[in-house]
Structure 1
Amino acid sequence: MAVFTPVSLEDVTQWITQFPLGQALELKGISSGIENSNFFLTTERGEYVLTIFENLSFEQLPFYLNLMRHLADRGVLVPAPIANDKGELITALHGKPASIVTKLEGSSQMSPQPVHCAEVGAMLAKMHLAGLDYKLQQPNLRGLDWWHETTPLVLPYIPEDKAQLLKSEVHYQETFAACDHYKQLQVGPVHADLFRNNVMFDGERLTGFFDFYFAGCDTWLFDVAVTVNDWCINLDTGVLDEARVRAMLDAYHAVRPFTEAETHAWQTMLRAGALRFWLSRLYDFYRPREAEMLTPHDPTHFERILRERIATPAPELF
């Protein structure tokens, strides 16, 4: 959530008249993240988040925004997109697609304990089940095809040992994706980026998941692996905290039981989750886009996690 497209309160004043939100009172850029331009928007009706999409097109966005609406209607705690007077969830601002969603209460829990991990695990399982009857389809745009396309773009920037690790892991994941165990995994809409800063808490009460703009259809287990790789680790070492892992997996399993095929795929999926974010951070670090407010992440964090997942088996699913 950086700011690539500057927007002023004056810019928003006329544009917002198409929404049932009253007059715009305040607009503040959000500096975290690296994909879209995001702003906290205060109107006469309350507080919202305005997003201008820098990469996703008008044609792609209905998948994400309608997914959020679908999940919200089924009791999953997510921001609700606001429709304009024509019933549209996406409209143009400065020539780019833009949307407004409700702002969740609370704050991100950056030092999670097992109780927080359990809340996230249970809600993630509920989200997966709620997405079963979602009609729109879109692949995970940062999945295996993207890994193949992006790896050659970052290889010239990294030393040989890292290049060998990257190439070998992409090959390992490609081989696994062709096996029978992978083909038996449950597939559906996934968040695919459920890090600590994309979940809100009020104390120990989870108030919502947000930032669904990496969502797509992928294996549910990949979504669990991405989440565990952020919520359940020592940030300095990448080592898993077994108490937090156990709390998240047990809470998820109580809502949506893991399958036998998922137990076979679990260790590999944890590696896949680490690879995806190591590669994307390498790309963002070495080939950044210009932005008014931009904070690229350190790629070595997920390289460290990947090496740790290769070296040390994680706790089993159940």
Structure 2
Amino acid sequence: MSVFTPLEREPLEAFLAPYGLGRLVHFQGIAEGSENSNFFVSLERGEFVLTLVERGPSGDLPFFIELLDVLHAAGLPVPYALRSDAGEALRELAGKPALLQPRLPGRHVHAPNAHHCAEVGDLLARLHLATRGQILERPSDRGLDWMLAEGPARAARLDATTRPLLEAALAEIAALGERVRGLPRANLHADLFRDNVLFDGAHLAGLIDFYNACSGPMLYDLAICLNDWCSAADGRLEPAHAHALLGAYAARRPFGAAEAELWPALLRIACVRFWLSRQIAADAFAGQDVLIHDPDEFLRRLAQRQRVEIPLPFAL
């Protein structure tokens, strides 16, 4: 189970009391998380999620709180930080920064169809449009410079068959970095995988886990999303899924020529980012009872993205 900081009932009850949400009925750790400790919390007045933030500087947390407030005000189905009776959104529990948020309805979809992908594409466009006019600035701590710093040593550990794939991708990042940074920007979720979306039947009911959110090129966020939602087990893109996701997104935010030109490269860059972060996590938590996602999944996807045959629709 990926709960890095276990909780006892008595200190949890003391933490929850200032929210005025009634008696603690039940709580349990959430196994799916890989970076923070998350708990389902049942109180007399409803269902909630408690997050203990394990990674990243605590100074970034006001950014996440403000971003979720903005998205919630724009009508997006996102969690948001509840305030205590003293008006505090960010508090401390077990020595960690802690946030209490409403629990959104729905379940994860692990085998999406084209309808699911269209719903996700539409929601991602809404997220970008809600913030692009007034971006909350926060550079990603796992952006292009991080990839170039971490990548060469990790690539050197690969076998002779796989190493050139990573080395070529890193060279592409170095060559295209300034052009990528110049693409149209907004606030990004930056981790819009299947396990961060909730569906209630056919309806997209929630978008969760914003702890990788940042400011940056909207196309990069789209590439991250599509690489997960529209990939087959062998890493190939599923055309029907990809067309559905991209079409729904473009219906709200049409693409520009620079985005169309850099689209294949952004798909490769997004593969590098998650191969690196998963490999680092696998090394750090080897042998521990922590959920580790397979880094090689993104090597397979990177190999398949050497030729991208699904262009952006309606590029202007």
- TM-score category (smaller protein): over 0.9
Aligned partner of 2:246 in structure 1 is: 249
CA offset digits 1:235-282 (Å, max 9, x no partner)? x21111111111111111111111111111111111111111111111
Asked whether the 8 Å contact 1:4–1:290 carries over to 2, the reply is no
For residues 1-318 of structure 1, what are the structure 2 equivalents within 5 Å? 2-134=2-134, 136-152=136-152, 154-155=154-155, 157-179=157-179, 182-234=180-232, 236-288=233-285, 293-318=289-314
Q: Which consecutive aligned stretches of 4+ in structure 1 deviate over 4 angstroms post-superposition?
A: none
Asked whether the 8 Å contact 1:67–1:134 carries over to 2, the reply is no
More divergent stretch after superposition (165-174 vs 97-106): 165-174
Quick one: which amino acid aligns to residue 105 of structure 1? Answer: P
Distance 1:65 1:289, change over 3 A: farther
Structure 1 residues not aligned, in runs of 5+: none
CA offset digits 1:82-126 (Å, max 9, x no partner)? 111222211111111010111110101111111111111111101
CA offset digits 1:61-83 (Å, max 9, x no partner)? 11112111110111111112111
Cα distance in 1 for partners of 2:96, 2:121 equals 35
SS in 1 for 2:42: strand
Structure 2 residues not aligned, in runs of 5+: none
Cα distance in 2 for partners of 1:269, 1:110 equals 24
TM-score by length of 1: 0.93
Cα distance in 2 for partners of 1:223, 1:148 equals 19
More divergent stretch after superposition (1-10 vs 38-47): 1-10
Cα distance in 1 for partners of 2:211, 2:287 equals 20
Q: CA deviation at 1:161?
A: 3.5
Q: CA deviation at 1:183?
A: 4.7
Overall identity of the aligned pairs, in %? 39
Cα distance in 2 for partners of 1:290, 1:6 equals 18
SS in 2 for 1:158: coil
Distance 1:105 1:251, change over 3 A: same
Distance 1:48 1:251, change over 3 A: same
SS in 1 for 2:132: helix
CA offset digits 1:144-186 (Å, max 9, x no partner)? 122133225534643344333323311211211123xx35411
Cα distance in 2 for partners of 1:170, 1:156 equals 12
Figure out how many residues of one structure are paired with residues of the other and give that number. 314
Asked whether the 8 Å contact 1:105–1:202 carries over to 2, the reply is yes
TM-score by length of 2: 0.94
Cα distance in 2 for partners of 1:260, 1:136 equals 25
Question: Over aligned residues, Cα RMSD in angstroms?
Answer: 1.8
Cα distance in 1 for partners of 2:156, 2:10 equals 44
